[in-house]
Amino acid sequence: MIKVLFVCLGNICRSPMAEFIFKDMVNKKGIADEFYIDSAATSNYNELDGAGIYADAKKMLKQMNIPFTEHKSRQIRKKDYDKFDYILAMEDKNISNILKIVGTDSQNKIHRLLDFTQNPRNISDPWYTGDFVTTYYDIVYGCEEFLNHIYKEQ
């Protein structure tokens, strides 16, 4: 079982989108049983509010026929570092914030999602940009290349 945790600042836009896009991808490939997939935030704002996936993120997933269930925002915890094999962040700032919570990345589990691609970069925050379409395609690109990376390794 490969355990993957997607992480962003609020866990209401990018990381839940990545969670459900990746779940759909492995489902369609018939390999869902090989994965445990979840998402979390670096901040605790939305956990305190009990917030679910942001409406525009849900709209984008619906538009692209990506099934999703309810997901409540939660902050990443120190024990998640041991639980997960891959902790996939959306941007540099997420990584420094994850490290503040989990300590050092001694097992090299923490990466930016787009670092698995030929074009390593941050995924912009649609909470601020309003551009959920770019976010969607960046996440799909990152998830496809991450999957290629995993299967190249085995």
Binding mask 90-109 for ligand 4NP (x = CB under 6 A): --------------------
**Nearer CB in complex with ligand 4NP: 3/74:** 74
Six-digit token pair at 102?
């989990």
Binding mask 10-29 for ligand 4NP (x = CB under 6 A): xxxxx---------------
- CA atoms 110, 116, 122, 126: torsion sign: negative
Among positions 44, 127, 141, 145, the unique one binding ligand 4NP when judged by CB under 6 A? 127
Query: Which part of the chain contacts ligand 4NP (CB under 6 A), choosing from 2-10, 26-34, 62-70, 109-117?
Result: 2-10
Among 13, 125, 138, 143, the one annotated catalytic: 125
CB of 106 to ligand 4NP, least distance (A): 26
CA distance 42 to 100: 9
Count CB neighbours of 86 within 10 A: 19
Q: Which residues contact 125 (CB under 8 A, 6 or more apart)?
A: 8, 9, 13, 14, 90, 91
**Nearer CB in complex with ligand 4NP: 29/70:** 70
**Nearer CB in complex with ligand 4NP: 10/81:** 10
Annotation says 143 is catalytic: no
Chain centre distance of CA 60: 16
- CA atoms 10, 102, 124, 92: torsion sign: positive
Annotation says 14 is catalytic: yes
Name the helix (H) or strand (E) containing 141.
helix 132-153
Contact (Cβ atoms closer than 8 angstroms) between residue 35 and residue 60: no
**Nearer CB in complex with ligand 4NP: 71/109:** 71
- Active site members: 8, 14, 125
